[in-house]
Amino acid sequence: MLAPGERALIPTGVRIALPPGYEAQVRPRSGLALEHGLMLPNAPGTVDSDYRGELKVIVWNSGPKPYVIRRGDRIAQLVVAPVAQVEWDEELDLDATRRGPGGFGHTGD
């Protein structure tokens, strides 16, 4: 049982082998979030292609009531996606944009 405000690492019993150049993203289920306040605090969680251990999901009960997670419950979803491989070049000056160095909430609109 996951009490209100409590977090737990939930084992899934699943292991995967992703090919190089791919990742899996662990994402929350919207119905559990809306109906029960179950959140994945690090969503999306990333599973790298070289990881071979059991997939586990960090679940946080942000709702007002305890929630029981049972074996076989669908508590998260997994999205497999390609990962872009980039080569970095160090630059002292960057090109100008309309947004410039503005941070969160500073898109210019």
Residue 30 has pLDDT above 70, yes or no: yes
Could you tell me if 48 and 1 are in contact, meaning their C-beta atoms sit under 8 angstroms apart?
no
Instruction: Classify the C-alpha dihedral 4-76-40-10 as positive or negative.
Output: positive
pLDDT digits (tens, 9 = 90+) for 38-74: 999 999 999 999 999 999 999 999 999 999 999 999 9
User: Which pLDDT value is given to residue 109?
Assistant: 55
How many other CB atoms are found less than 10 A from the CB of residue 18? Answer: 17
Regarding predicted confidence, which is higher, 78 or 105?
78
Tokens of 4: 């209100």
What does pTM read for this prediction?
Answer: 0.79
Domains and CATH numbers, the chain: 7-82 (2.70.40.10)
